[in-house]
Structure 1
Amino acid sequence: MPKKFGDLVYTPESASGEAISKVETHTPKIEAPDQVKSGEPFHVKISVGPHPNTIQHSIRWIEVYFQEDGRAFNPVLLARVHFEPELAEPEVQLKLVLKKSGVIHAIEYCNLHGLWEGRKEIKVV
């Protein structure tokens, strides 16, 4: 039976075998406050690495999603950024405004090592 798409995404918890050695260099790092005020803007930074940035081996894109507490259909796509090898480093900065708590998910694609996910819970008060 074929795997579900979600089973193809590596996380620090699910990595096994050779993938364990890739956790530090491939899991998106999300820098954001743990708690924010409802309706007030705040900054989020997502980065990957250190990681090679060559045509043969590089991070090609990052997608950022928000899984909002209580929302019937999740997640909401916040951004998708493509990176040109050798010219653009895998780092994204966003300014968000949330009204409800939830989880930010960042998915990145490495052309050699596949899809990797990082996540951060954000509490809205």
Structure 2
Amino acid sequence: MKSIGKLYQSGDWKGEKHVPVIHAPEKVKKGDLVEVNLNIGEEIAHPNTQEHYIAWIKLYFHPEGSNFPVEVGSYNFNSHGEHGTFTEPYVSAKFKVERSGTLHATSYCNIHGLWENSVELVVED
């Protein structure tokens, strides 16, 4: 069986326009609301045309000690020129967590495929 994991690409979002950018606090207090902002093309703009666009971004949280991540949200960008309307791949998510872990963002470009990025989130008592 072939793993889809090998199809995900990564890189430094400051030099690669397809890598999901994750803006999140480094530390939060247990039970507090966490706000995470995601986008594609922050330093190098992604075209977002009918021919070349970001179709979706997903955000996951993988708590320390857990075997599986939790899907925080899945965000589709469906307007790629219809009646002159183009969506931009920017989203914000708010949620609460009980323990530290890793935030994972994945995205899909219709021409350049799957992309990923991750950052650590520390939860303090």
**Common fold by TM > 0.5:** yes
Q: Which runs of 5+ in 1 are unaligned?
A: 14-22
Structure 1 vs Structure 2 CA RMSD: 1.7
Q: Amino acid of the residue matched to residue 44 of structure 1?
A: V
Paired residue type of 2:7: L
For 1:10-89, list aligned pairs within 5 A.
10-12=9-11, 24-49=16-41, 50-71=45-66, 73-84=67-78, 85-86=80-81, 87-89=86-88
Structure 2 residues not aligned, in runs of 5+: none
Report the TM-score when normalising by structure 1.
0.86
**1:28 is matched by which residue type in structure 2?**
P
For residues 92-103 of structure 1, what are the structure 2 equivalents within 5 Å? Answer: 92-103=91-102
State, as a whole percentage, how many aligned pairs show the same letter. 40
Letter in 2 for 1:32: A
Higher strand share: 2
Give the Å deviation of 1:92. Answer: 1.0
Per-residue deviation at 1:12? 1.5
More helix per residue: 1
Q: What's the secondary structure of 1:100's corresponding residue?
A: coil
Question: Which amino acid in structure 1 is aligned with residue 19 of structure 2?
Answer: T
Q: CA deviation at 1:3?
A: 3.8
Q: Distance in 1 between matches of 2:94 and 2:72?
A: 10
* Letter matched to residue 87 of structure 2: A
Deviation of 1:27 (Å): 0.5
Equivalent residue number for residue 114 of structure 2:
115
- Aligned-partner Cα distance in 1 for 2:103–2:10: 14
Aligned length, in residue pairs: 115
Measure how far apart 1:42 and its partner are. Answer: 2.2
Q: What is aligned with 1:20?
A: none
SS at match of 2:17: helix
TM-score, normalised by the number of residues in structure 2: 0.86
